Amino acid sequence: MATDTKRKRRESAEQKRARAVELVERLDHAMPEAKIELDYRTPLELVVAVSLSAQTTDKRVNLVTPALFARFPTAADYAAATPLEVEGYIKTVGLFRNKAKNLVKLGQVLVERHGGEVPGGRAALSELPGVGNKTAGVVTIHLGVERAFPVDTHILRLSKRLGLSTTTDPDDVEADLRRVLPEALWFKAHQLLIWHGRRCCGALRPECHRCVLEGLCPKTGVKPPKKKP
């Protein structure tokens, strides 16, 4: 049997695209329920929730956002608050002080420049305080505004392991993924790769023995398990 390395070297661009599509199909069959795990009802709540999720878990964000959203339902409410007041609602979230400052600034910018509404388009969103390109991409795809393939830590890790990208820059990884997958699959693949990274292909101990992608994954960078003496 040819090794994964030899197979990967022989893989043409066309073969890589076909393999990428099959990867998504297998993940979709295994996890048809995959969806964003942050709770939100409005575009503003989505922006806030995704911004808060950096350096913490979606579960933790979902624990603090009900009270936060009830107290600050509009951009004007954030704009009129102090960072200290916002901190009281998100103090169990990682980097909460910096995030509280950004939420106040976010509200102010939305009120001053966008009439209190979340702007459409990734470029405009990425300029908002505490947002950035990745968060803007997540917001746009879930609002159905633009097609994008935002890259988080899980997708960054899996794109290399799956042999779909060799770079470590999130923007370059996104460009690679957009090349190997048809646009119609970007939204679905984004969520499926995140779920797979959380549930099976962990950073330190990928559970290859139960992975549905066995045979399609070159396991780039994954150390083989130690043999028992």
CB 93 within 8 A of CB 52: yes
CA nearest 155: which of 40, 27, 63? 27
Question: Is residue 134 flagged as an active site residue?
Answer: yes
H/E element, 195: helix 186-199
In the DSSP assignment, the letter for residue 42 is: S
Give the DSSP H/E element, type plus range, for residue 220: none
Query: Which of these is catalytic: 35, 39, 77, 134?
Result: 134
- The active-site residue, picked from 6, 8, 28, 152, is 152
Alpha-carbon distance 220 to 31, whole Å? Answer: 23
- Maximum distance among all Cα pairs of the chain, rounded to whole angstroms: 67
**Tell me, what DSSP letter sits at residue 166?**
-
| Residue 43, φ and ψ in degrees, nearest 5 | -55, -40
Numbers of helices and strands, H then E, in the chain: 12, 0
Give 127-149 as a DSSP string: TSTTTHHHHHHHHHHHHTSS---
Which residues participate in catalysis according to the annotation? 134, 152
